[in-house]
Amino acid sequence: MREYPRPIQNLVTLFTYLPGVGPKTALRYVFYLLKQPKGTIESMSRALHELQQAVTSCSTCKTYTTQEICEICLDSKRDKTMICAVAHPRDIGTIDSAGFRGRYHVLGGTLSPIEGITPDTLEINSLFQRLTNEPAVSEVVLAFNPDIEGEATIMYLSKLLKARNIKASRLARGLPAGSDLEFADEVTLGDALHRRWEV
C-alpha cells in the first residue's frame, strides 16, 4: 500500500483486525469514513469506547450483557429445567427465535485441539458448576454446528452429562425447508430417514 498519512494508515491496520477485512477493504472503509459528517465519526468512537466500558459477560451464562446477570437468566418465565449450550453469544438469538424457552450457556467456542481450544479454555467448568448450583436442570441441549469441532464438543459434553445423570440432547439433522432430496448429502439424508416420524 502506498504511503498515506499516519492516521489513515493506523485505522487501516486496525480495520484489518476485523474478520474478512483485508487492506484494500480497510482502506475503502477509511476513505468512506473521511467523507462522513464529523458527528458520525464522534458517535462511532463513543460507541466503541462504550463497547469496552459497558459490555461484560453474564456471570451465569457468559453471554454479553451490560448487567451482572443478563435478561434471559433473570427471566422467571423461562424453563428452569433446560439449558442450551451454544458456542457463541450470537447463537442465542438464532436458537431463541426458533422457539427455545429455556436458558443458555455460552462456551465461547467448540473443541479444536489443533487450534489450542481445549476443554479448560472453554466455559465448561462454569457449565458444570452451574449444574451443581441449579439442581432443577434435567436436560442440556448441545446446539453446535454439525462440523468436526461441534461433534467433538457434543461427544465430550454428553459423556460428562451422562455421568451426572443429566440428559444430553443434540439438534436433529434434517432437510432444509424448500430443499431438493436429490441434492441432500448422505449424512443429512441418512439422519433424516433415521429420525423420521409418523404422519
Q: Which residues bind Zn ion (CB under 5 A)?
A: 58, 60-61, 70, 73
Cβ distance to Zn ion smaller for residue 30 or 105: 105
Shortest spacing between CB 87 and Zn ion, in angstroms: 16
Cβ distance to Zn ion smaller for residue 27 or 87: 87
Shortest spacing between CB 120 and Zn ion, in angstroms: 21
Cβ distance to Zn ion smaller for residue 58 or 140: 58
Cβ distance to Zn ion smaller for residue 60 or 110: 60
The full DSSP string for the chain is -----HHHHHHHHHHTTSTT--HHHHHHHHHHHHTS-HHHHHHHHHHHHHHHHH-EE-TTT--EESSSS-HHHH-TTS-TTEEEEESSHHHHHHHHHTT--SEEEE-SS--BGGGTB-GGGTTHHHHHHHHHH-TT--EEEEE--SSHHHHHHHHHHHHHHHHTT-EEEEPPP-PPTT--GGG--HHHHHHHHHT----
Shortest spacing between CB 79 and Zn ion, in angstroms: 14
Q: How far is CA 125 from CA 28, 107, 131, 132, 157, in A?
A: 43, 10, 10, 11, 11
Shortest spacing between CB 193 and Zn ion, in angstroms: 38
Shortest spacing between CB 63 and Zn ion, in angstroms: 5
Cβ distance to Zn ion smaller for residue 27 or 126: 126
